[in-house]
Structure 1
């Protein structure tokens, strides 16, 4: 133990602001301790991104101590005893000793200040987070065996897990998150309490559940955390589409276990992520969540054929709708919803390529439809191959290698990432004599399809093709008649038009 604390000092695992703050509180006659995750991370030999402290001082006393030292302070959490501050680039939270609890059926705790550090540690979620370092002495306070549990890779609560989870039901999800992040096993009594109290998670706000889910999915081993949510019934409350993947099988209709397949795809997707300077830096929530959810359309699309085969037609499209609905319920932002659901919708697109060679236009369309998600789609598609048949896996891998090579070749030729028609909206309106409106958008989309089918044409060829196409449209005659009957149309020049490209966006 002493060696770990000495290492913290020798290797600068704790920044100077920790010691400075400890001395200021000591000089003011108050206790101060570093607590929770930062202490746990010392024993894992890593630097924590958080700096959380607890003290016997009340909020006004905290402000008195840091006044003139902190670069800035804020009091958003004052009602809960928390004062925030910034110092030397660090974000710091200092909280008065707490001994609060959730009342039955309540989403918010009743705030009660505690009298001792031990009181505060007892109310924390797990023993590995119920350790503190008194400052500035670096005395370890570990009344519930957090160091022992961390060494054993075991997750326990300071008191009875039923009491802990009753105080804050989100702690049940946090147990699954720590199983993912820290690689620890949940103690049997903890898992039993999670199973028995899973329904209580329903009182927690969607936003808190979402934030905990994101942390779990971005953990070191998200599949383990997800599986714990499913085993305990917590997933039935907050992510029911995942346990629904456990489709029943019988002796007449065989198919792979969709749930276990999805966990495997999630694990494999994590392995495809890149370093920070790569195209999909780890951990990537969008890729990982799409991997977990890519087959959620299968339960509602499963059909048994007469020959004993099982089909899931259109499960990609159905699954994308299901994903959007669930993510909205969890209050995800629109950009994340669109990205994940689009990957789910596109995840089957490649499997037509392995059956027959695509034209260049089909490859262009694949790239265009994926857009900024192309690198993630590459990784999701490769991760979706979980067959134990080595020859089949090799064929699929070779086919995707070929597709990526063709994408790269075409990209070099025509900068596919920014494919646009050969004529912009303003040129279309000038050539056809149109004002901004739906007809311009229709012409733009036709030119874009032409571009995808045949590649770059050049402005002159595109103009000729556009004029020929326009002559065949019923709107062409109507537009000509309207122009002829308008006052002053004979021999007059075309009026100026607004070439705002937003009018022609797809």
Structure 2
């Protein structure tokens, strides 16, 4: 099967003069840090430069949560120069030449010029300190990260035309791409992340090297891969980043379930292109995420409400990407050309959890994504058969804290080109959401409990704590789900009736 390239030819629209103006404004804004820090190193006979992502993000007008500097000073010298100036500092990265600190609420990292490479089959980089800024820049991942501002003079340094690449929307390496990825294979993941985050495209040499060296990603620790994957998924165009990983073969090693969605077709059996469908669902989830978050804001939803969405939301986006990964394992060909994927939701949930565990995701995130994958088909049939209030209550209860995200995933999963069918499904889900809202107002649906608690059950039945109390509680919960609030008198009558049959 040919690999998709239909997401290419995007270009970052950055105006050169605007980029320069942004940089100058940011340097002026940070003068209270850059000036004194640069002067301290210069007076001591050392070089210092603002470097890499800090310069790139300043040119793009992106947030700069921390500042990265590079220097010919070694860690002990760095500590000596900043210890009495910063608010706090730490040396957890001393082994790699990095000293961290905070000054006036701004986090900074200062790293000794270095050359870093991975030995064959090693997960740990070999670090050697350098003495020259240009030599340090040529070893960096991409030209857009190989720009620097020398301090305290504020001289712009760009030996590899990173500025031109940024304006043109290119991802290019300072030296040979194969050498760069051999030095640190994680850079291949970072290329895909920048494709998503910044709207840039790799040049042919970069993509060819990624394809040829895809298996080198396996020497990188799962934790580092996970960090890059999260940044990719939460970028402005995660579809482009994922598609790059798939067509270069890197996904075969880090997300093989996604690569596996490229099912071979059979001339006698037709079904939707599962891979392209999943990319479309992801793209639509990104769009819907913003709309739902805006609706919640307009409705005054509290920040600590568990349903409140944070944009970007990794959980719903990753669930959108993974929701159909159970299809390859469950595909069955039927007489007459039909294709089925029975139970792919349950199988997909297990595969998703397994992959996230391998990538060292935390248990809560893994459980949330897996649950969304498991529930993504629950809505279908609502428009045709209709649901009782009891079924609506169960839908909400089963989704729990993930209800808002399930709304997004379910709507995003509609990718049919049949406008009539799409409109019918959208109308049905509108109706379901309206019913959920109406029931929530009536019954405080988010915290459904029986009309009687455990203590009341024991008092009415005059029994001690035992498994029977839990069974009675579950029975009353079932009645509550089926009929709504019963009130204390009816609940007690129902409890006593149940006790007559089950009390022994």
* Same structural fold, with TM-score higher than 0.5 when normalized by the shorter chain: yes
- Determine whether 1:42 maps to 2:58: yes
Aligned mates of 1:368, 1:301 — CA distance in 2 = 28
Instruction: Give the Cα separation in 1 of the matches to 2:335 and 2:142.
Output: 53
Corresponding residue of 2:11:
none
1:304-323 map, 5 Å: 304-323=333-352
CA pair 354-15 structure 1, distance change in 2 beyond 3 A: farther
* Aligned equivalent of 2:475: 446
Q: What is the CA distance between 1:301 and its match in structure 2? A: 1.0
Q: Which residue of 2 aligns with 1:264?
A: 280
Query: Equivalent residues in 2 for 1:338-487 (5 A)?
Result: 338-473=367-502, 476-477=503-504
Which structure 1 residue ranges, 5 or more long, are not aligned?
A: 478-506
Distance 1:72 1:140 in 2: 29
Matched, 1:74 2:90: yes
Who is 2:259 aligned against?
243
Provide the residue aligned with 1:8 in structure 2: 23
The equivalent position to 1:29 in structure 2, one of 42, 45, 50, is 45
Following superposition, the deviation at residue 2 of structure 1 comes to: 8.5
In structure 2, relative to structure 1, the CA distance for the partners of 1:2 and 1:419 (3 Å cut) is: closer
Match of residue 300 from structure 2 = none
Distance in structure 1 (CA, Å) of the matches to 2:466 and 2:34: 62
Q: Which protein has greater RCO, CA pairs closer than 8 Å, 6+ apart?
A: 2
Residue 46 of structure 1 aligns to a residue whose secondary structure is: coil
Q: Any conservation in 1 of the 2:331–2:341 contact (CA below 8 Å)?
A: yes
Once residues 182 and 467 of structure 2 are traced to their aligned partners in structure 1, the CA distance between those partners, rounded to angstroms, is 57
Q: Secondary structure at the match of 1:361?
A: helix
**Equivalents in 2 of 1:15, 1:281: separation in Å?**
32
1:354 CA displacement: 1.6
Q: 1:306 to 1:434 in 2, by over 3 A?
A: farther
The count of aligned residue pairs is 475
How far the C-alpha of 1:442 sits from its partner, in A, is 2.2
CA change 1:150–1:5 in 2 (3 A) is closer
Contact 1:71 1:85 in 2 (8 A): yes
Asked which structure has the greater CA Rg, the reply is: 1
Deviation at 1:190, TM superposition (A): 0.8
1:179 to 167, 192, 195: 195
Question: After the TM superposition, which residues 83-122 of structure 1 pair with which residues of structure 2 at under 5 Å, given as runs?
Answer: 83-122=99-138
More off after superposition, 70-79 vs 442-451 = 442-451
Q: Structure 1 pair 315/437, CA: closer, same or farther in 2 (3 Å)? A: farther
Q: Is the 8 A contact 1:13 1:42 kept in 2?
A: no
Residues 46, 71 of structure 2: 8 Å contact kept: yes
- For the 8 Å contact 1:153–1:184, the answer to whether it is kept is yes
SS of equivalent residue, structure 1 residue 104: coil
- Indicate how the Cα distance of structure 1 residues 7 and 321 shifts in structure 2: closer, same or farther if over 3 A, else same: closer
Give 1:13 shift: 5.4
| Residue 128 (str. 1) matches residue 157 (str. 2) | no
In the alignment, is the contact (CA less than 8 A) between 1:58 and 1:81 conserved in 2?
yes
Match of 2:70 among 48, 54, 72: 54
Q: 1:246 to 1:148 in 2, by over 3 A?
A: same
**2:232 paired with 1:216:** yes
In structure 2, distance between residues paired with 1:103 and 1:18:
36
**Partner Cα distance (1:125, 1:116) in 2:** 17
Alignment partner of 1:292 is 2:308: no
Choose the corresponding residue for 1:329, options 358, 361, 379: 358
* Distance change in 2, residues 1:64/1:380 (3 Å): same
CA distance in 2, matches of 1:273, 1:79: 41
Measured on the aligned residues, the alpha-carbon RMSD in Å equals 1.6
Are the aligned partners of 2:118 and 2:183 in contact in 1 as well (CA < 8 Å)? yes
Q: Is the 8 A contact 1:296 1:322 kept in 2?
A: yes
Once structures 1 and 2 are overlaid, which stretch shifts more, 425-434 or 36-45? 425-434
Q: Deviations over 1:110-165 (max 9, x none)?
A: 11000101111111111100111111221111111101111111111111111111
1:231 and 2:247 are equivalent in the alignment: yes
In the superposition, relative to structure 1, how do residues 375 and 4 fare at CA in structure 2: closer, same or farther (>3 Å)? closer
How far apart in 1 are the matches of 2:38 and 2:51? 12
Please, what TM-score do these two structures have when normalized by structure 1?
Answer: 0.91
Deviation at 1:7, TM superposition (A): 4.5
Task: Write out per-residue CA displacement over residues 283-321 of structure 1, whole angstroms, 9 at most, x where no aligned residue.
Answer: 100000000000011111111111211111111111111
Q: Distance in 1 between matches of 2:17 and 2:415?
A: 47
1:64 matched to 2:80: yes
1:8 Cα offset (Å): 3.2
* Separation in 1, partners of 2:220, 2:463: 55
CA contact (8 A) 1:14 1:47 kept: no
User: Judging changes above 3 Å, is the alpha-carbon distance between structure 1 residues 303 and 434 closer, same or farther for their aligned structure 2 residues?
Assistant: farther
**3-state SS of paired residue (1:125):** coil
Residue 360 and residue 217 in structure 1: after superposition, are their counterparts in 2 closer, same or farther (change >3 A)?
same
Contact 2:326 2:344 in 1 (8 A): yes
Report the alpha carbon displacement of residue 42 of structure 1 after superposing the two structures with TM. 2.1
Q: What is the CA–CA distance in structure 2 between the aligned matches of 1:247 and 1:80, rounded to whole Å?
A: 44
SS of 1:472's equivalent in the other structure is helix
- Partner residue, 1:503: none
Unaligned runs of 5+ in 2: 1-15, 298-307
With over 3 angstroms needed to count, the CA separation of the structure-2 counterparts of 1:68 and 1:239, relative to structure 1, is same
